[in-house]
A and B are shown apart, each in its own frame.
Chain A
Amino acid sequence: MKLISERSKQVVTAGDARAVVCDRPSVAGSVTQRACTFCGSRVVLYPIGDALHLVHGPVGCAAYTWDIRGALSSGMQLHRNSFNTDIRETEVIFGGEKKLARALRELIPVHRPKAAFVYATCLTGVIGDDVEAVCRGAAAEFGIPVIPVQSEGFRGTKKHGYSAACAALTQLIGTGDTAGIGPLSVNILGDFNIAGEIWTIKGYLERMGVEVVASMTGDGRVDDIRRAHGAKLNIVQCAGSMTSLARMMQEKYGIPYVQVSFFGLEDCAAALYEVARHFADQAVLERTRALVREETAAVLPVMAELRRDLEGKVAALYVGGAFKAFSLVKALRQLGMRVAMAGTQTGAQADYEHLKELCDAGTILADDSNPLEMAAWLAERDVDLFIGGVKERPVAYKLGIGFCDHNHERKIGLAGFVGMAAFAREVHATVMSPVWKLVPRRARASGAQP
């Protein structure tokens, strides 16, 4: 497989002594699957359902991020609308601040949000709009927090966007009343309630006797986030996006945090135990044990049954952050599957080292991959399952390979014990689907077609 010469150090195989070179900008001209800062900020803040999300920039940025993420809300769904200042040539010449101020004035009294986030884009960054000043003015005028998000696309990858989003959240945290928050209380960071996942997690925590103060940001509410500093522990899931916020809350409010994953049986159980141990409360620990026992017992038979078919099948994955990749590798192993390729858009050096340990020798590890490479690997390793996002899906299908979305567009909650069963069912359904036999490549291999 030929690689772009500058990229050759970004790909290694497990068992290889070389380290993956990563954390570097994509080579200009590559068909990278990566996105930008704006995208990162949008996905992190978007799920807050009672906030106004105003994209200050041209229409495209707003249109492409209009309700593309299945971040469910149990109440208000203001976040699912697309609000945009629709910057035109006049503003490019004369500046967009006035238009932004007018937009906020036209919006806030009508929709009465609890807070507003104003996202900067490439364009408003380059023309030099003082978004912060406009936000300050609007906050004073309407008496709600109006928070600028420094999400200009050119600042970097999604990761930079995550930090910008975290910085925006810090402006909300600490402004609410923490009265009534008990000692066994947590915030959940880095879960976006895709397909209702946070409801599963919250359910577990409640059964353990742990109170959830704020969820950031899945099914998030402005007032909860404002009092998040009253919680006694931060649970950080999907560490790539929100660890910086947890660190900041530790420094500023002395709230410790744990990094966990709720995906996969092992990881989910470990996560809940870690929370329980943190509180060093015997009753909580007992309840957690009972919960894990009960939930695992319910799921194991399902998995054993599906594993019979999946044993020995080969998977490849390409996901945003490395934490997702760790959990996936482990979960796939529980289903008896081998991972032939694991790649991420934004993994760090240490992440790849950890991945190497997790994966079997010979597994391809790739940073910032592109469809050409991936298609070649998928075919070469004769993979049965590809896990990725929207841009990867059709590549898998063209090759006649099963696919699971592990990104925005997934419709099935994968978190928690029930999520593992759902994942197993989804993997099984696509890997075992008879439709792949219709694809010429497979049909030829099985002798069914000339």
Chain B
Amino acid sequence: MLEMTPATSTERTALKINPAKTCQPVGAMYAALGVHGCLPHSHGSQGCCAYHRSHLTRHFKEPIMASTSSFTEGSSVFGGMANLQQAVSTIFEMYDPEIIAVHTTCLSETIGDDIPTIIGKCQNEGKIPEGKVIVHANTPSYVGFHVTGFSNMVKGFVKYLAASTGRRSEAVNLIPGWVEPSDMAELKRYTAAFNLPTIMLPDTSSVLDAPATGEHSFYPKGGTTVAQIRAMGDARHTLALGAWASSDAAELLTKQCEVPHEVLDLPIGLAATDRFISALAKLTGTAVPQGIEDERGRLVDVINDMHQYLGGKKVAIWGDPDQVIALTEFCRDMDMKPVHVLTGGNGQAFEERIKAILADSVPGANVKQQGDLFLMHQWIKKEPVDLMIGTTYGKFISRAEDIPLVRFGWPILDRVGHSYFPSVGYTGGLRLATQLISAIQERQDRDAPDHAFELVM
């Protein structure tokens, strides 16, 4: 299917081929699913909502519930106010959520629907039952990319709900970034190990990794509760993981409720996890629990044991900025050579950061923000790699060039496991490292001539 990709890249100014990103609303939907009893609502055409639900379903293999304003030709001319009002009534009557999280789409943004005004009208007309809430985020798809939508929705929850009562609590806010349900559970395990009372927003664990019970539960038991989000305003500190996904909400908490914040990288890999763990140690004023020290030791142990397989291996990495930054650093620390590093998302800071990480080890690396997988393929054709790390969409390149692919990021449409096993933290790093090592060893086995085919590796 990629037989047409030429090795030399020509300047493209108007075109994405095989994108490495998608639109904002799907990120808003994912974030909203991490709030307990929340129904994400897509204010736009039916198609948007259907696409976002389908895509999330393919990644998580879970039912994804979200409603839509079902725009028609008329709404595209006269605006979607009537649709949203009707939607609010329908939703509370039928689906009875605690909270509705409205996000916009291309269409409602362009026609200029003013969501707060519409929500206000619903309030005045008594369409919002006692104790229930509606929040919203603007998520125009022609700005930013899917992570922007996630960030905007998290910010939306904070904006509408977080309030300071004047009494500071012991709690710390944790904004986990766009990570898997398994990662969110793992982050909670870490803060619990430090005995640190934590409010994490959003929290898709026990929502998008719900167990089979024989019943379909419209609102699974997980998710940050509305009360918890309100209480975020009283927290003593906010830790935001991943600048792209999480810093906006953390900044807003500082502005709105005077909660100080710090932004860290996603704790993926050894060094980034070290920084996260020392932030926890600093916040609690305690030493790192022995159990966590041991986990770290195990990760280092495996990296040492297997360094001869990883050393010098060229890798291509793509995905969302926060993930790719952490992953690039991790690969560098294991003596791998990330020679092609790309994100579909936008931000010059991405290129600067990656170049800084690789300044000593791979000074000539190809680095690009707002790239696409067509470009990645062209890079790989010019300079082949030993391993690719990225989303399912890389499988076409992997096959065309016969290079092993370790799936990482969002979306993964063709494998399971990512939503159940964490990749954050030391244990997550261990899982990632073993995946990379296995991929390389499998390849070595496959390609070894008979006489050099090894039993013990």
B46 engages A394 (CB within 8 Å)? no
A371 engages B72 (CB within 8 Å)? no
A107 engages B218 (CB within 8 Å)? no
Given known A26-B70, A154-B75, contact A62–B4 (CB-CB < 8 A):
no
A375 CB contacts on chain B under 8 angstroms: 216
Partner-contacting stretch, out of A32-40, A287-295, A310-318, A424-432: A32-40
B19 engages A66 (CB within 8 Å)? yes
In the complex formed, the residue of B with least CB distance to A438 is B212
B216 engages A28 (CB within 8 Å)? no
What's the least CB distance linking B429 to chain A, in Å?
29
A29 engages B65 (CB within 8 Å)? no
* Partner of B216 from A29, A65, A371 at Cβ < 8 Å: A371
| A25 proximal to B (CB < 8 A) | yes
A393 CB contacts on chain B under 8 angstroms: 57
| A395 proximal to B (CB < 8 A) | yes
Complex CA–CA separation, A85 to B210 (angstroms): 38
| B13 proximal to A (CB < 8 A) | yes
B94 CB contacts on chain A under 8 angstroms: 2, 4, 29-30, 372
Chain A: interface size category:
35 or more
B72 CB contacts on chain A under 8 angstroms: 25, 154, 156
A154-204 interface with B by 8 A CB criterion: 154-157
| A126 proximal to B (CB < 8 A) | yes
A33 CB contacts on chain B under 8 angstroms: 50
| B123 proximal to A (CB < 8 A) | no
B54 CB contacts on chain A under 8 angstroms: 64, 68, 390-391
A242-297 interface with B by 8 A CB criterion: none
Given known A59-B145, A106-B14, contact A84–B19 (CB-CB < 8 A):
yes
B17 engages A64 (CB within 8 Å)? no
| B160 proximal to A (CB < 8 A) | no
Give a binary string over A426-450; 1 marks a CB under 8 Å from any B CB, 0 the rest.
0000000000001111111000000
Complex CA–CA separation, A111 to B2 (angstroms): 11
B3 CB contacts on chain A under 8 angstroms: 77
**Residue in B54, B66, B111 whose Cβ sees the most chain A Cβ within 10 Å:** B54
Give a binary string over B74-108; 1 marks a CB under 8 Å from any A CB, 0 the rest.
01100000111011111101110000000001110
Give a binary string over A65-103; 1 marks a CB under 8 Å from any B CB, 0 the rest.
110100000000110111111111101100000011011
A29 engages B87 (CB within 8 Å)? yes
Given known A30-B90, A390-B54, contact A395–B63 (CB-CB < 8 A):
yes
Given known A60-B25, A442-B214, contact A86–B46 (CB-CB < 8 A):
no
What's the least CB distance linking B321 to chain A, in Å?
16
Partner-contacting stretch, out of A227-235, A329-337, A348-356, A397-405: A397-405
B212 engages A63 (CB within 8 Å)? no
B11-56 interface with A by 8 A CB criterion: 12-19, 21-26, 41, 44-55
B88 engages A58 (CB within 8 Å)? no
* Partner of A83 from B15, B95, B140, B213 at Cβ < 8 Å: B15
* Partner of B69 from A29, A39, A399 at Cβ < 8 Å: A29
A123 engages B23 (CB within 8 Å)? no
Complex CA–CA separation, A2 to B25 (angstroms): 29
- Chain A binding site: helix, strand, loop or mixed by DSSP? helix
| B335 proximal to A (CB < 8 A) | no
What's the least CB distance linking A59 to chain B, in Å?
5
A16-55 interface with B by 8 A CB criterion: 25-39
B83 CB contacts on chain A under 8 angstroms: 28
A439 engages B214 (CB within 8 Å)? yes
What's the least CB distance linking B44 to chain A, in Å?
7
| B67 proximal to A (CB < 8 A) | yes
A35 engages B15 (CB within 8 Å)? no
Complex CA–CA separation, A422 to B52 (angstroms): 31
B65 engages A439 (CB within 8 Å)? no
What's the least CB distance linking A129 to chain B, in Å?
12
| A110 proximal to B (CB < 8 A) | yes
Complex CA–CA separation, A106 to B374 (angstroms): 13
Complex CA–CA separation, A103 to B4 (angstroms): 17
A83 CB contacts on chain B under 8 angstroms: 15-17
B53 engages A439 (CB within 8 Å)? no
| A121 proximal to B (CB < 8 A) | yes
What's the least CB distance linking B47 to chain A, in Å?
3
Residues in B lying within 8 Å of A, measured CB to CB: 1-4, 6, 10, 12-19, 21-26, 41, 44-55, 57-58, 61-73, 75-76, 82-84, 86-91, 93-95, 105-107, 110-111, 140-143, 145, 210, 212-218, 344, 374, 393, 396
**28 A-B pairs in the complex with CB atoms less than 8 angstroms apart:** A27-B86, A28-B70, A32-B68, A35-B50, A58-B141, A60-B23, A61-B47, A64-B22, A66-B393, A81-B1, A83-B15, A89-B142, A103-B14, A110-B4, A110-B6, A111-B4, A126-B76, A153-B44, A154-B71, A154-B76, A154-B107, A375-B216, A391-B53, A395-B216, A398-B212, A398-B214, A440-B213, A440-B214
A-B contact sample (12 more), CB < 8 A, given A32-B70, A63-B19, A394-B62: A26-B46, A29-B70, A77-B1, A81-B4, A86-B15, A87-B142, A371-B216, A379-B216, A391-B50, A438-B212, A439-B214, A440-B214
Residues in A lying within 8 Å of B, measured CB to CB: 2, 4-6, 25-39, 57-66, 68, 77-78, 80-89, 91-92, 99-100, 102-103, 106-107, 110-111, 121-123, 125-127, 152-157, 371-372, 375, 379, 390-391, 393-395, 397-400, 438-444
